[in-house]
A and B are shown apart, each in its own frame.
Chain A
Amino acid sequence: MSLPKFEFVAPKTVAGAISLQKDNAKFIAGGTDLLVAMKRRISSPSVIIDLNKISNLKRIKWNKKDGLRIGPLITLTQLKENPLVGKHLPGLSQIVPLISAPQLQNMGTIGGNLCLDARCYYYNQPVFLKKKREPCLKAGGQVCHVVKSGNRCHAVYSGDMAAPLMALGTRVKITGYSKTKELALRKFFSGSGIKPNILKSDELLTDIIVPPQPESSGFSYRKLRLRDTLDFPLLGVAVFIDLDEKDGRCKDFCLILSAVGPSPVVVEAATKMMRGKRMTPKLMDRVAREAQKKAHPVDNAASSPGYRREMVRVLIKKAIREALIPFSKV
């Protein structure tokens, strides 16, 4: 399979990259998502703007106040092996092996992972097999082949990093032509399968800032897949728990579901239900049921929606139990 024709530029600065943007140009980081889409003729940018020459975007720094500052061009393997990450946020490095396969981890970046395009069985088919089907909403058409009556795109955001980073309270910095802004990662996603994030075409994700975590906190990310490698998540569940060590009550709790819709879902109700409470199996079960209501998988991935919905409960309980492990020792 060959790539469609395109022009290639590799600027050395963020400003340079942004100024080179024109319509139908695309940034490329590791290329593990974009190049596949191009080979399938799902994406045919006229210009490719390579971000790999911008050394600014390839740093990891730590300070006590802000926590970790991760450049978007850091590869997943670098994230896994970085000593600062290992020291301050070991949970994050442990997610990397769950993503794709080692070769792809070597190329794929954390920024590319957050900016990943949403996926759908129909949309991601090679162009030939789509020929005799009307173009779908995501491809600029008027129909959705999955939910036929609907007028919404249900393509799934399937990145593995977003849910755990959101649970950890991550903020991101966006740099545009004239201004930069910083916002919570949970605000980064648009809720639309057509374009899952809020970046404008001439905006770059330039920083990923993970705040320092309280000593008394636990964290877990669980992923549902059918093979132990390569597979995108059929469901991802991230849990963050901050416990009052004296009375064992929940100071803070955050639950994120991923890969069940166009954006990761923050289960706000779960936070309310947990705050100030002690963790009991019953409460866990209530939280899990509540979360299940928020998951709306549709028939556009490898496994049936019913199964994925069913697994929401199972994975939440596993994730909570795992997040509680640090406390069981004391």
Chain B
Amino acid sequence: MEDGYVNIGKRLPRVDGIIKATGEAKYAADLSMPGMLHGKILRSPYPHARIINIDADKAKRLPGVRAVVTGNDTIGFKAGGISARGDEPYLALEKVRFIGDGVAAVAAIDEETAEEALELIEVEYQELPAVVDPVAAMNEDSPLVHEHAPRNISYKTDLSYGDVDKAFKKCDYVREDHFETASIRHGFIEPHAALASWDLSGKLSFWGSKQSPYFTYRNMAKALGITLSRIRIVQPFIGGGFGGKNEMFDVDFSSALLSRKTGKPVRIVVSQEEVLFAYRQRHPTIIDIKTGLKKDGTIMAVDAHIIADGGAYLSIGAMSLYLMCSFLCLPYRLPNMRARGYRVYTNTQPSCAMRGHGVPQSRFAAEVQLDMAAGEMGLDPMEIRLKNALGPHETTPNGFVITSCGFEESIIEGKKVIEKWRKDRPKDGDPNIKRGIGVGCYGFVVGPRVAGHNTAGAVIKVHEDGGVSLMTGSTDSGQGSDTALSQIAAEVLGVRLEDVRYGMVDSDITPVDPGTYGSRVTFITGNAVRVAAEDVKNQLAEVAAKTLEANPRDIRFKDRRVYVAGSPERGISFPRLVKIAQYSGAGKTLLGRGYWAPEGLKVVNLETGRGNMSATYSFGTQVSEVEVNTETGRSKVIRMAMLHDCGTPINEMAMEGQLEGSAIGGIGHTLTEEIIRKDGRTMNPSFLEYRMPTALDACNVEILHTDTYDDVGPFGAKESGEGIQVSVVPSIVNAIYDAVGIPFKKIPITPLMVLDALKDKSGK
């Protein structure tokens, strides 16, 4: 590790900060083109129905309408996280499977006309019995959402390591509990939006709100039946994704199809209401979990049975289910584990990845159960965690290899926070307010390596005044990666952050990239950027060596200067060097190229769950303090501490933003957020009734990172902000347990649940 960085580890404002804060940044819905048409999507009003006929004649005749497309205008491509099992057409083919399923799309001269046209499309449906409850869906006689999936099981896993049954027999303490989590929304503020322009040469240009634009690049080609070289995907600024903007959707596809049909650019902007009732959600789950421990608190075995409500389509659900199950092996040592998981189709919105991807649900169950066990065994929740904490160089039974690991340190720091908080707690005023402190821990992936394409690439161009242009295939969906990646490039090249211009994804120009998921961008793309910067730096070092009459290996780049190691006075400015390199002799075209992917990992087999997901893992401990009002039943989180091992932070300010977002999101998940449905119909499709916490509901968050350096990560960095989401929920639930002595096994914990539980407890 080299000291005295100019960019890395500094609290630098984000490169996109000013234009986002001032509202200048352009998002997909802000874009327009001459002659552009406006699109709208007709959605299914039924949870389950067969499409008998679609008659769009009246709609087509409405003045101002330019085209109507339906499933019949498509080649019938079906998307899915496992391509061979794709089950989701972008416009419904024979059936609709949830209220909101896209059926047809209209392009018109303005939004109003398009909206009016939707009313004129006559769809004849044959209503089918629907199933909206995942447990009922698994009955033999339940209606089938997809004919190919008996008992509506869209994916199942059975992971088993060690000998669970034998282990339980040897345990001193065993408990079984039943947990449930509700369906919640990603909660991004920018709705889905797409602008597509098909030109006469048969080339498609597309701008969309996609956190992983290359998902759309591939699926667009497949769904339209054209080659990738005819597709150009451009990424504007993205207003949040959290896993809900990875996949390509009906809005993306329809804009392209309508543009092809009309020969005009077509833009479709989905309303926030549509986002809330017709797009993705986090898997709601029903989890039965059994844990066995030794008297001294050593965890011996876990056996879990998980039902995940997948909604109408497969989406990325196989991965979600695998993650839910396999993360029972992290962050504690666990010699024996079994997890059976069922992802079930229902006639509701499809479930997909969401911040923490499946892991928050099962870890909520495991972490709350651990506190219950500790409580009954008379053990301290922190000690039990410390005792079982995985450390560096350990391997989990399913094959996760731990390398750098500050987990133990995070628990020890967490203990200190708890001691401090217990001391500085105000003398209780209102006897109806009960305070409690709870903890949760996590381990998380840092850029998983999965089947398929994993590599990130970066290209760097150096300008003659010393400025640098950086291009990667990665998308900043709001997490700040444009800034982190720019800092990495700046540090390697010895310039400053403000010298770097970050170019957003344009598939014609930027390297192909998997996307923004699994906390991979800073870690994987960061390494690609480092390699690209080193590449161009080496080219420059050769020129510098000639100019300064030194060995290229002795050339140093720092803070816009280039000099000979050991004698800083023997140097020139960085811009000067670039000019010399470009102008003298044949001149150089200064382009750096880098690509990187985690190598040497045993890629996970989804069937057995065996393999190593990630080149390294992040860890941490979350402490929350709550006040429970025993009169109103309302719980309020009053402060939090997040102690995490993110490796060495690239930018602490950006990292804090990530953590705070995770913390407050977790408050919503635990206490207020839930999609309420009646007969498959969403009752609260707005941010007024779907209660995400706002800035005014936030609390103070203390942040501390452990002193960890990851050898593989760029400048020692790992991941930040996603993993910790896993531990926020259980820390709050455990804090409520501490406050009123009741462990809640279902989230969100509503005031009524609290009051009822208090009544039960007092034996009324």
Note all chain B residues with C-beta closer than 8 A to A304: 752
Does the CB pair B697–A121 fall under 8 Å?
Answer: no
Which of A101, A302, A318 has its CB near the most chain B CB atoms (within 10 A)?
A302
Does the CB pair A126–B685 fall under 8 Å?
Answer: yes
Q: Which of B14-52 contact A (CB under 8 A)?
A: 43, 45-46
Residue A131 at the chain B interface, CB threshold 8 Å: yes
Does the CB pair B45–A303 fall under 8 Å?
Answer: no
Note all chain A residues with C-beta closer than 8 A to B634: 226
Taking the closest CB of chain B, its distance from the CB of A160, in whole angstroms, is 14
Taking the closest CB of chain A, its distance from the CB of B252, in whole angstroms, is 20
Residue A285 at the chain B interface, CB threshold 8 Å: no
B271-308 vs A, Cβ < 8 Å mask (1 yes, 0 no): 11100010000000000000000000000000000000
Q: How far is the CA of A229 from the CA of B685 in the complex (A)?
A: 18
Taking the closest CB of chain B, its distance from the CB of A194, in whole angstroms, is 21
Evaluate whether A125 and B751 lie within 8 angstroms (CB atoms) in the complex, with A1-B271, A132-B45, A302-B691 already known: no
Does the CB pair A306–B752 fall under 8 Å?
Answer: yes
Note all chain A residues with C-beta closer than 8 A to B631: 314, 318
Residue B466 at the chain A interface, CB threshold 8 Å: no
Across the interface, A226 reaches (CB within 8 A) one of B43, B45, B687, B691, namely B691
Note all chain A residues with C-beta closer than 8 A to B99: 129
Taking the closest CB of chain A, its distance from the CB of B505, in whole angstroms, is 29
Q: How far is the CA of A303 from the CA of B634 in the complex (A)?
A: 12
Note all chain A residues with C-beta closer than 8 A to B687: 230
B608-642 vs A, Cβ < 8 Å mask (1 yes, 0 no): 00000000000000000000000111100000000
Q: How far is the CA of A318 from the CA of B632 in the complex (A)?
A: 11
Complex: chain B residue closest to A317, CB-CB: B631
Residue A181 at the chain B interface, CB threshold 8 Å: no
Note all chain B residues with C-beta closer than 8 A to A311: 632
Note all chain B residues with C-beta closer than 8 A to A131: 45
Q: Which of A97-148 contact B (CB under 8 A)?
A: 101, 121-122, 125-126, 128-129, 131-132
Q: How far is the CA of A101 from the CA of B693 in the complex (A)?
A: 13
Across the interface, A229 reaches (CB within 8 A) one of B43, B46, B632, B694, namely B694
Does the CB pair A5–B273 fall under 8 Å?
Answer: no
Q: How many residues of A contact B (CB 8 A)?
A: 30
Residue A54 at the chain B interface, CB threshold 8 Å: no
Residue B62 at the chain A interface, CB threshold 8 Å: no
Note all chain B residues with C-beta closer than 8 A to A306: 752
Does the CB pair A227–B672 fall under 8 Å?
Answer: yes
Q: Which of B683-740 contact A (CB under 8 A)?
A: 683-685, 687-689, 691, 693-694, 696-697
Residue B111 at the chain A interface, CB threshold 8 Å: yes
Across the interface, A2 reaches (CB within 8 A) one of B112, B681, B688, namely B112
Does the CB pair B683–A5 fall under 8 Å?
Answer: no
Q: How far is the CA of A230 from the CA of B694 in the complex (A)?
A: 9
Does the CB pair B694–A226 fall under 8 Å?
Answer: no
Does the CB pair B691–A227 fall under 8 Å?
Answer: yes
Does the CB pair B46–A230 fall under 8 Å?
Answer: no
Across the interface, A314 reaches (CB within 8 A) one of B632, B688, B693, namely B632
Does the CB pair B271–A307 fall under 8 Å?
Answer: no
Note all chain B residues with C-beta closer than 8 A to A66: none
Evaluate whether A310 and B755 lie within 8 angstroms (CB atoms) in the complex, with A2-B112, A132-B46 already known: yes
Complex: chain A residue closest to B684, CB-CB: A302
Evaluate whether A125 and B683 lie within 8 angstroms (CB atoms) in the complex, with A226-B672, A229-B697, A306-B752 already known: yes
Does the CB pair A2–B685 fall under 8 Å?
Answer: no
Q: How far is the CA of A229 from the CA of B633 in the complex (A)?
A: 18
Complex: chain B residue closest to A311, CB-CB: B632
Does the CB pair B752–A231 fall under 8 Å?
Answer: no
Q: How far is the CA of A303 from the CA of B112 in the complex (A)?
A: 35
Residue A228 at the chain B interface, CB threshold 8 Å: yes
Across the interface, B115 reaches (CB within 8 A) one of A2, A121, A229, A318, namely A2
Residue B403 at the chain A interface, CB threshold 8 Å: no
Q: How far is the CA of A229 from the CA of B750 in the complex (A)?
A: 17
Note all chain B residues with C-beta closer than 8 A to A228: 696-697
Does the CB pair A227–B693 fall under 8 Å?
Answer: yes
Residue B682 at the chain A interface, CB threshold 8 Å: yes
Note all chain B residues with C-beta closer than 8 A to A2: 111-112, 115
Q: How far is the CA of A41 from the CA of B634 in the complex (A)?
A: 34
Residue A224 at the chain B interface, CB threshold 8 Å: yes
A219-256 vs B, Cβ < 8 Å mask (1 yes, 0 no): 00000101111111000000000000000000000000
Which of A40, A231, A307 has its CB near the most chain B CB atoms (within 10 A)?
A307
Q: Which of A297-322 contact B (CB under 8 A)?
A: 302-304, 306-307, 310-311, 314, 318
Note all chain A residues with C-beta closer than 8 A to B271: 1
Note all chain B residues with C-beta closer than 8 A to A226: 634, 672, 691, 750-751
Complex: chain B residue closest to A121, CB-CB: B683
Q: How far is the CA of A131 from the CA of B99 in the complex (A)?
A: 11
Which of A128, A231, A311 has its CB near the most chain B CB atoms (within 10 A)?
A128
Taking the closest CB of chain B, its distance from the CB of A237, in whole angstroms, is 12
**Helix, strand, loop or mixed for chain A's interface?**
loop
Does the CB pair A307–B751 fall under 8 Å?
Answer: yes
Across the interface, B691 reaches (CB within 8 A) one of A1, A231, A318, namely A231
Across the interface, B685 reaches (CB within 8 A) one of A125, A224, A302, A314, namely A125
Note all chain A residues with C-beta closer than 8 A to B273: 1, 40, 126, 128
Taking the closest CB of chain A, its distance from the CB of B489, in whole angstroms, is 39
Q: How far is the CA of A256 from the CA of B356 in the complex (A)?
A: 46
Note all chain A residues with C-beta closer than 8 A to B46: 132
A268-311 vs B, Cβ < 8 Å mask (1 yes, 0 no): 00000000000000000000000000000000001110110011
Note all chain B residues with C-beta closer than 8 A to A310: 755
Note all chain A residues with C-beta closer than 8 A to B115: 2
Note all chain B residues with C-beta closer than 8 A to A128: 43, 45, 273
Q: How far is the CA of A310 from the CA of B681 in the complex (A)?
A: 28
Q: How far is the CA of A129 from the CA of B687 in the complex (A)?
A: 16
Evaluate whether A303 and B751 lie within 8 angstroms (CB atoms) in the complex, with A226-B691, A228-B697 already known: yes
Taking the closest CB of chain B, its distance from the CB of A235, in whole angstroms, is 10
Note all chain B residues with C-beta closer than 8 A to A224: 632
Taking the closest CB of chain A, its distance from the CB of B752, in whole angstroms, is 4
A60-92 vs B, Cβ < 8 Å mask (1 yes, 0 no): 000000000000000000000000000000000
Q: How far is the CA of A230 from the CA of B690 in the complex (A)?
A: 11
Evaluate whether A227 and B752 lie within 8 angstroms (CB atoms) in the complex, with A129-B99, A129-B277, A311-B632 already known: no
Does the CB pair B752–A303 fall under 8 Å?
Answer: yes
Q: How far is the CA of A131 from the CA of B272 in the complex (A)?
A: 18
Does the CB pair A227–B750 fall under 8 Å?
Answer: no
Taking the closest CB of chain A, its distance from the CB of B99, in whole angstroms, is 7
Q: How far is the CA of A141 from the CA of B710 in the complex (A)?
A: 66
Note all chain A residues with C-beta closer than 8 A to B633: 307
Complex: chain B residue closest to A124, CB-CB: B689
Complex: chain A residue closest to B629, CB-CB: A314
Taking the closest CB of chain A, its distance from the CB of B676, in whole angstroms, is 8
Q: Which of A34-52 contact B (CB under 8 A)?
A: 40
Taking the closest CB of chain A, its distance from the CB of B699, in whole angstroms, is 11
Does the CB pair B691–A307 fall under 8 Å?
Answer: no
Q: Which of A170-227 contact B (CB under 8 A)?
A: 224, 226-227
Taking the closest CB of chain B, its distance from the CB of A98, in whole angstroms, is 11
Note all chain B residues with C-beta closer than 8 A to A126: 273, 685
Complex: chain B residue closest to A307, CB-CB: B752
Complex: chain A residue closest to B693, CB-CB: A227
Does the CB pair B112–A5 fall under 8 Å?
Answer: yes
Q: Which A residues are closer than 8 A to B by beta carbons?
A: 1-2, 5, 40, 101, 121-122, 125-126, 128-129, 131-132, 224, 226-232, 302-304, 306-307, 310-311, 314, 318
5 further A-B pairs in the complex, CB-CB below 8 A; given A121-B684, A131-B45, A231-B688: A121-B683, A122-B683, A129-B681, A228-B696, A228-B697
Q: Which B residues are closer than 8 A to A by beta carbons?
A: 43, 45-46, 99, 111-112, 115, 271-273, 277, 631-634, 672, 681-685, 687-689, 691, 693-694, 696-697, 750-752, 755
9 contacts between A and B (CB under 8 A): A1-B271, A40-B273, A129-B681, A129-B682, A227-B693, A302-B684, A302-B691, A303-B750, A304-B752
Per CB-CB distance, the 10 closest pairs between chain A and chain B, nearest first, are: A229-B696, A307-B752, A131-B45, A1-B271, A132-B45, A314-B631, A126-B273, A229-B694, A228-B696, A2-B111
